[in-house]
């Protein structure tokens, strides 16, 4: 697939979804612990709005802790920018070449897809990410990526119900592919998204 085109499409689709949100929903919690919709939107556009020197400066201020830096920037920018400005920052940069420090284009797509789902799943909006995007991201799941995102899936086999995909060994944990993707990215899902023999993950 054309990953650059998929990234651009994902950003435009998430921007269109955000544009239609009632103002009150911007302050609702998401699957990103501690972040409301506006913090997630601010974080999604961080790489477009900050130059490399400013990013480096913010990282130094955070004493080299990337998570601390992104959390502080997301909260500050969410308070400073309007909903329209956050939407435009995402839509106007659909073709921006930003990528995370590691992982290349697939990681950039994963960043946009998962953060979009952080919002839509938490709000119960029912958005379905196109399967080719989800399939590509699931193909990138490894024990190393699970560890990076803090996903403890030892002794569990993930089985997608809508794609021919599985991962791991152990007690079966089934769900639609995008729910399993969120699980692999360390998210805690609302009830009803997964079916498992292992109650540890429910």
Paired sense of beta strands 194-196 and 166-167, if any:
unpaired
Band of pLDDT at residue 1, cut at 50, 70 and 90: confident
Q: What is the CATH number of domain 134-201?
A: 3.30.1050
What is the rounded distance in angstroms from the CA atom of residue 17 to the CA atom of residue 202? 29
Q: Where exactly are the structural domains of the chain?
A: 3-127, 134-201
pLDDT at 101: 83
pLDDT at 198: 40
What is the rounded distance in angstroms from the CA atom of residue 42 to the CA atom of residue 81? 8
Question: pLDDT tens digits for 123-149?
Answer: 999 999 999 999 999 999 999 999 999
Nearest partner of 196 among 147, 143, 158, 165, judged by Cα: 158
29 pairs with which residues across the strands? 36
**Phi, psi angles (nearest 5°) of residue 173:** -130, 115
What is the rounded distance in angstroms from the CA atom of residue 140 to the CA atom of residue 65? 25
Angle at Cα 202 formed by Cα 112 and Cα 70, nearest 5°? 30
What is the rounded distance in angstroms from the CA atom of residue 72 to the CA atom of residue 90? 19
**pLDDT surpassing 70 at residue 201:** no
Question: pLDDT tens digits for 72-114?
Answer: 999 999 999 999 999 999 999 999 999 988 889 999 999 999 9
Cβ atoms within 10 Å of 73's Cβ, excluding its own? 22
Is 0.85 surpassed by the pTM of this model?
Answer: yes
Altogether, the residues listed in the chain come to a count of: 202
């Amino acid at each position: 697939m054309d990953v650059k085109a998929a990234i651009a499409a994902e950003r435009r689709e998430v921007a269109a979804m955000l544009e239609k949100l009632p103002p009150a929903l911007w302050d609702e919690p998401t699957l990103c612990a501690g972040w409301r919709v506006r913090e997630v939107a601010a974080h999604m556009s961080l790489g477009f709005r900050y130059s490399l020197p400013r990013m480096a400066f913010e990282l130094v201020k955070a004493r080299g802790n990337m998570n601390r830096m992104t959390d502080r920037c997301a909260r500050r920018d969410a308070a400073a920018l309007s909903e329209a400005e956050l939407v435009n920052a995402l839509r106007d940069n659909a073709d921006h070449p930003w990528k995370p420090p590691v992982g290349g284009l697939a990681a950039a797509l994963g960043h946009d897809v998962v953060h979009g789902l952080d919002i839509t799943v938490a709000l119960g909006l029912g958005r379905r990410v196109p399967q080719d995007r989800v399939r590509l991201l699931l193909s990138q799941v490894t024990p190393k990526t699970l560890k990076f995102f803090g996903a403890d899936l030892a002794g569990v086999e993930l089985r997608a119900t809508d794609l021919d995909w599985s991962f791991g060994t152990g007690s079966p944990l089934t769900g639609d592919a995008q729910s399993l993707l969120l699980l692999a990215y360390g998210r805690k899902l609302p009830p009803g998204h997964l079916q498992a023999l292992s109650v540890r993950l429910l």
